[in-house]
Structure formats: C-alpha cells, structure tokens
A and B are shown apart, each in its own frame.
Chain A
C-alpha cells in the first residue's frame, strides 16, 4: 500500500502566480480531505470530498482557492492568484468514512514570496 501521495513536496513561487497541489488518495477510500497547517492556526480543514463530490468547502478561505476531484484517484487544490499569507503546509488525507482514521500524505510545504 503506497499511502497517500502528494506532490510537489516543496513549492516556492512568487505572489500572483498560480499554484496547483496534487493528491493521490489510498485506493478504496471514499473520503478525501484537504488541510492547511500553520503555527498560528494549527490544522485547518479546507474542504472534503465523498465519492469525488465536494461535501463541505466552508473552510476554503477565499475564492482564490479551488479544489477538484475528477476521479477517485486524483485531487487538486489550486490557489490563483497566490499571496504570501498562503504560505503553509498543505496536507491531503483519505479515509474509508467521514469519522474513521485518516491517512495523511507528507504534505506540500508552500512558500509564497
């Protein structure tokens, strides 16, 4: 079992640029979660999907953020345009059900200059 795979592991870009983060969940997991982690705010849930359908995106901070899950094995989180305050570690996690143990990827460390 390969676990949850995220790419890239690190991303450094200038403000105003579009950023796309990618996630491959564990096969057979129906739920996929996107989180943002910062020292100040801890781990924040941005959006989650069930069977590729977005269920709750109330954690998405602004319209600059969007997420898609075109199929059961792939999801993207896009920031356009990016701002320095978006700098954080972004995690993807998957689970068999909403309240079951989540399996996390190793995250994407994003730095917006």
Chain B
C-alpha cells in the first residue's frame, strides 16, 4: 500500500530564511506527487505537482520541489519565507494505478511557524 511520511510535525523558520519541508513516499509504481497548503480555517490549495519529466518542479508562491526517485523523496523548498507562509503543508501521492484515481494518500502534515 502507498504511504507518505512527513518526518517533521513542526518547523520554525525566521522570516526571510530558506525553507525545506521533507516528504518521503512509498509507492509501487511511478508516483504522482503533490504538495498542498492549508491555511487556518481554509481548504487545501495545490502548490505544485509532479507527474513526469523534469524532476525539479516550480509551483505557486515561489515554492519548488525536487523529485528524487533514488531516495523516494519529494521535498518542498522556498528560498525566502514570508510571514504569510505560516500554514500546514501536506505532501500527497496519487492513487493506485489501473485507471482509477483512488484518491490521494496524504502525509500527516508539517506545521510551519514563521518567526519575525
């Protein structure tokens, strides 16, 4: 069965500093990978996705992520964080193969705190 691990429950970063959020997945085939952000009281917003091709993908709000098959990782990065980036971040892997989506499998999330 597929799974997603986000090792860091909380991360605190100073405003203007760089950010890396870790994500490891377990999946039997080519993974389809996503990063979502959830602000307090809001739904989930897609930051970026990896389906195939270039392993470095660019997303919205200045985020990027790198797919590393050898490490089963899809870490999210941002060169300089802003106070508005404080939120919960979820990594997810696409559903099982065979034509059906089977929904997304999410990690437990990483809570990002921005220090002034």
A and B: bona fide binding partners: no
Interface residue ranges, B against A (CB under 8 Å) = none
Interface residue ranges, A against B (CB under 8 Å) = none
